[in-house]
Amino acid sequence: MPDAVILAAGYGKGLEPITHTRHKVLVPVLDKTLLEHNVRSLVRAGVKSIVIVVNYLKEQVVKEASRLAKVYDAELRVVDQGEPLGTGHALLKALSSISTEDFIVLYGDVYVEPEDVAKVISGGKPTIAGYGAEDPKRYGVLITDGGILREIIEKPETPPSNLVNAGLYYLDRRIEKYLENLPLSPRGEYELTDAINSYCSEVSVQVVELSYWLDIGRPWKLLDLSKHLLRRIESQTILGHVEGGVRVRGPVVIEEGAEVLSGTYIWGPAYIGREAIVGPNAFIRPYSVVLRGARVGFNVEVKASIVMEDAHAAHQAYIGDSVVCEHANLGAGTILANLRFDDGNVKYRVKGVVEDTGRRKLGAIIGGYVKTGVNVSTVPGVKIGAYSWINPGVTVYRDVPPCTHVISENESRPVKGECCVDLSVWRP
């Protein structure tokens, strides 16, 4: 059975502000990290040895890899890429740590189904996975001939097809010479796809189309993946304590140690994690996720959102199509609005560029350890950086950098409290 390499270096800037405080492969997807989902898929397909290439927030990944090695009885090693010089450079660094002639390569920030991983491995020959994407010009598009790869065209303005590179490969060591001789790409990195283009001129690389795939490169994609997995819940699983006067409708998971207090209405599919407290009189709407230790209190409505570990919205708040990261605290009356006044698609700024999310409804992305005062409101599509504070009564119309104290709509300054964010990475 081949070894596997998970390419997980880079800062995850497309996921900002979630990645201010956590590595991109450690974003929670229901009850598991994205890394665990991918490790589980590889192990189920028979892989026993996995190398994970990282750089930023390496210590977080080392800790999680150690836990997963015990859970899945597999060997997981973490390799430090050093300076993040691209996927080609990252794979070259990993090759000295794998022992097999053939190997699997998986991008760490994508989600693939376990059966699709098994399908790629079962062919026993060089393979690239593709997926029919709705927006192929954002990705590398696969040019094929009779099911064989001819070329990967990166982000074409006019895509010749919608079959995109899914970031899952079955390769052999013949790729190494192409990795060693890679030129820098226009964006200043050594790209694995450039090596693949040279490799496929020597080696017949078959193309396998996946049944489901998602690139978790934007915060709203995390909402999409949660929705995909929540749809698989077919019945109610109630392991926690549910008081009288609670209504649970449809497929809902309430984990052990969770408490749901009187007057609360949970409309599934929904997921309530361990030690979470929901209610009294809360409303959890479909496709909502409340993770371990979170508090969703009196008269709080959560709609198609993710409330991460130990986040608090204790009373009279609205969380619509949003992500609230770990240990954030939303003051009473905080409103995370999810619908533009003109009913248009919500825009979101990524790496300084405004993107159309393609979503009519998207709220705010609230970083870890953020504090909002009472009666704070956010307009659709804004992000608030980790460890920031928002004064009572402020309406947030534009993105807030990490560790920023917003005094009013036109005044802000650095927070005086704790700031555990590497500002050299995240400040312009």
Three-state SS at 257: coil
Domain 229-426 annotated CATH 3.30.930.10 = no
* Nearest Cα residue to 167 out of 332, 25, 304, 346: 25
How many Cβ atoms from other residues are within 10 Å of residue 111's Cβ? 21
CB 300 within 8 A of CB 333: no
User: What pLDDT, on the 0 to 100 scale, is given for residue 124?
Assistant: 83
pTM: 0.95
CB 50 within 8 A of CB 42: yes
Would you state the structure tokens that stand for residue 423, as one six-digit string?
Answer: 């500002």
Strand partners, 144: 149
The structural domains of the chain, with segments of one domain joined by +, span: 3-217, 229-426
Dihedral, 255, 268, 217, 368 alpha carbons, nearest 10: -50
Three-state SS at 348: strand
Length of the chain in terms of residues written: 428
CB 403 within 8 A of CB 388: yes
Sheet with strand 395-396: strands edge to edge? 247-249, 265-267, 283-284, 301-303, 318-320, 335-336, 377-378, 395-396
Q: How far apart are CA 167 and CA 111, in angstroms?
A: 10
CB 84 within 8 A of CB 12: no
CB hemisphere CA count around 368 (13 angstroms): 17
Q: How far apart are CA 156 and CA 166, in angstroms?
A: 16
User: What pLDDT, on the 0 to 100 scale, is given for residue 185?
Assistant: 87
User: What pLDDT, on the 0 to 100 scale, is given for residue 428?
Assistant: 66
Put residue 362 in one of left, alpha, beta given phi > 0 → left and psi -120 to 50 → alpha: beta
Task: List the CATH code of the domain at 3-217.
Answer: 3.90.550.10
Q: How far apart are CA 177 and CA 160, in angstroms?
A: 29
Give the Cα-Cα-Cα angle 142, 143, 147 (nearest 5 degrees). 95
Q: What is the pLDDT along the chain (428 residues), one digit of tens a residue?
A: 899 999 999 999 999 999 999 999 999 999 999 999 999 999 999 999 999 999 999 999 999 999 999 999 999 999 999 988 999 999 999 999 999 999 999 999 999 999 999 999 988 889 999 999 988 998 999 999 999 999 999 999 999 999 999 999 999 999 999 999 999 888 889 999 999 999 999 999 999 999 999 999 999 999 999 999 999 999 999 999 999 999 999 999 999 999 999 999 999 999 999 999 999 999 999 999 999 999 999 999 999 999 999 999 989 999 999 999 999 999 999 999 999 999 999 999 999 999 999 999 999 999 999 999 999 999 999 999 999 999 999 999 999 999 999 999 999 999 998 999 999 999 76
User: What pLDDT, on the 0 to 100 scale, is given for residue 427?
Assistant: 77
